[in-house]
Amino acid sequence: MKPTLYQRITAPFVEPYVRYQHADILHATRLGTAVILALLVNKITNLPHGEWTTITVFIILGLLQYQGAIYTKAKERVIGTLLGIGTALGVLWFNQNAGAWLWVDYALIGLLSGIIGYLAVRQLGYTGLLTGITMLMIVSDLGNNSIGQDGIYRALNILLGTGISVAVTLILPLKSTLMWRFLLSSNLDACSSLYAGVGHHIDATDGVVDDSVQKLNPVALPVKEVPVDRALVTALQQINKRLLAVRPHIAATASESGIEKETLETIQRTHRNIIGTIDLLLSAAPRLANIEIDEENHVLLVHYQHELTQAMQHMAAVLRSPSDEVFRPITRIAVSEYPSVQHLAFEWQGYFWLTQTLQTQLQQLSDLLQTSKPHWFAASGLGYQRREQRRMKEQGGETDLHL
């Protein structure tokens, strides 16, 4: 069923997978909307130093796209601002009621700044930094009452800006858990295509040996290598870019879903190992293209590669699916049950060994995803799941789950 013009226009705003594909555009739209709202709030409230509302919106949303990271930043900013206001009011009270010399007040501010700096480095981080900045905005000139009042207004505008940022994020959400799922899904799909491309390269040039090259120098160059398609190398580069893009989502996904960060790190490491193994298979392909293999083992290899390719596609489909699907076993093929593999050329034995390694890594990733699925599936949002299920019903279902 072909989507209507209205569906194509609204898809980036209502369908999470399309939203993931257009995340940069959505982020720009959301930031612009938040800034306009901040300007309107400034106009309505007419608070002094209203520029801090828009500045705060840019600080929170400018470089952060996803809910988990935005909420963390907003929480730290609110807590830091409130702690800073409380600390500053304490200093002002001391200044008004203790009747101490000015240098004592300065010494107190210096002492508090040192304590805040120590806690910022050891534990509080950005929250500690905001605590110190807010305190100094209010107490920077104890003899000038307007400075303290201006500092309070700035702090209130910061809280307003934080609220606007969170509100806009709720209206147009980009959840880190969904982005983590979709990035991993896209990479598994790309890995399946790349792995299939390696097999096709070997099959396409199978048996084409340049005897003249071997006769000229049989020791130095016993087998002529057949370079792989440049598109496969480019695809591998794109896969590595997405692998790096997953990294910033791990902490936020752990926060949103409740999955242990160590589990997500293990998934990321297994993800990286799978890419590394396919890279090794890609490197071996030019040489294997012209090394003979008997028909029986060739059929085994083709079937083996087909099963692993489909397994990666199935894992990608389950990660994308809004339904509570189950990750199936990778393959039931066991190379150890085929003794003839041990009599192949050394290069082919190595290729089978790498393929076995890939199978083991895919099974490890599948098991990790299945174990953690109750958490990341729930964290993706019930609204997303219901909406996607309705869309699938209207369009005839998600066929790539039944490979």
* Helices and strands, counts by H and E, the chain: 16, 0
Q: What is the C-alpha end-to-end distance of the chain, expressed in Å?
A: 20
Query: Does the pTM of the predicted model rise above 0.85?
Result: no
CA distance 37 to 49: 16
What lies within 8 Å, CB to CB, of 251 at 6+ separation is 68, 69, 261
Contact 275, 243 (CB under 8 A): yes
CA dist 160 and 50 (Å) reads: 10
pLDDT value at residue 381: 63
What is the enclosing helix (H) or strand (E) of 239? helix 230-246
Q: Catalogue the E-assigned strands of 9-63.
A: none
Q: Report residue 271 CA to chain centroid gap.
A: 12
pLDDT confidence of residue 372 = 92
- Locate 130 and state its tokens: 């905001």
| Cα 113–chain centre separation | 36
Distance CA 105, CA 203 (A): 81
How far is 354 from 396, CA to CA, in rounded Å?
38
| pLDDT of the chain, 403 residues: tens digit per residue | 566 777 667 666 666 667 777 778 888 988 999 999 999 999 998 888 888 899 999 988 887 877 777 888 888 888 998 898 899 888 888 877 776 677 788 888 899 999 988 888 888 788 889 899 888 888 877 666 666 677 788 888 988 999 999 898 887 777 888 889 989 999 999 999 999 888 777 766 554 344 433 333 333 334 455 565 678 888 889 999 999 988 888 888 888 888 999 999 999 999 999 999 999 988 887 777 677 888 888 888 888 889 999 999 999 999 888 777 788 888 877 777 777 778 788 888 888 889 889 999 999 999 999 999 988 888 776 555 555 556 556 655 444 444 4
Which one, of 355, 282, 369, 367, lies nearest residue 318 by Cα? Answer: 369
Residue in 392, 304, 402, 395 with CA at minimum distance from that of residue 348: 304
Distance CA 186, CA 179 (A): 10
